């Protein structure tokens, strides 16, 4: 007979991802043109072909909305710099997807920090290119 220590069980429960444990949560989509977010049915509640082919249009302007991830917190609608920052991050592949445990990782707080952030995380063709990029000497 298998026995399971209660302490081990609690450790496993604590380690589980919040979104996996309590979900499915609705997915968060943003319209950059209107600077609004809308929650839509989770991809986990759809069958696979529907989930792969889904796109949602903004109810206000009709533009296709962008899947931002559960950890996205929209800026105020009138905060143009923050919306521009989020849009630039999205255009370079940075969204707010995570499992709910540790968040999506660092994201710049200011628009002025975005360019440096993107450059520092640029994909390089080889390890040598990445090392060369990091070997900048300031005089």
In a domain, 113, yes or no: yes
- Residue 29: name the closest of 19, 48, 20, 42 by CA: 42
Residue 44 has pLDDT above 80, yes or no: no
Give the mean pLDDT of 32-54.
80
In a domain, 1, yes or no: no
In a domain, 54, yes or no: yes
In a domain, 76, yes or no: yes
In a domain, 139, yes or no: no
In a domain, 11, yes or no: yes
Q: How many residues does the chain have?
A: 139
Give the mean pLDDT of 98-125.
80
Full residue range of the structural domain in which residue 52 is found: 6-134
Q: Beginning with the edge strand found earlier in the chain, give each strand of the sheet holding 27-31 in spatial order.
A: 36-40, 27-31, 66-67
Q: What is the pTM of this model?
A: 0.67
In a domain, 50, yes or no: yes
List beta partners, residue 27. 40
In a domain, 87, yes or no: yes
Measured between alpha carbons, how far is 59 from 39 in angstroms, rounded to an integer?
12
How many structural domains comprise the chain? 1
pLDDT at 114: 92
Structure tokens at 46: 């759809």
């Amino acid at each position: 007979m298998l026995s399971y220590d209660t302490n081990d069980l609690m450790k496993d429960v604590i380690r589980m991802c919040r979104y996996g444990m309590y979900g499915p949560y609705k997915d968060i989509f943003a319209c950059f043109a209107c600077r609004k977010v809308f929650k839509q049915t989770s991809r986990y509640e759809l069958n696979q072909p529907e989930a792969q082919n889904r796109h949602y249009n903004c109810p206000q302007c009709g533009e296709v909305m962008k899947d931002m991830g559960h950890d996205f917190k929209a800026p105020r609608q009138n905060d143009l710099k923050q919306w521009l920052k989020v849009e630039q991050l999205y255009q370079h592949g940075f969204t707010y997807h995570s499992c709910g445990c540790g968040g999506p990782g660092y994201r710049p707080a200011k628009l002025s920090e975005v360019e440096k952030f993107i450059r520092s995380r640029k994909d390089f063709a080889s390890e040598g290119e990445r090392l060369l990029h990091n070997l900048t000497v300031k005089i």
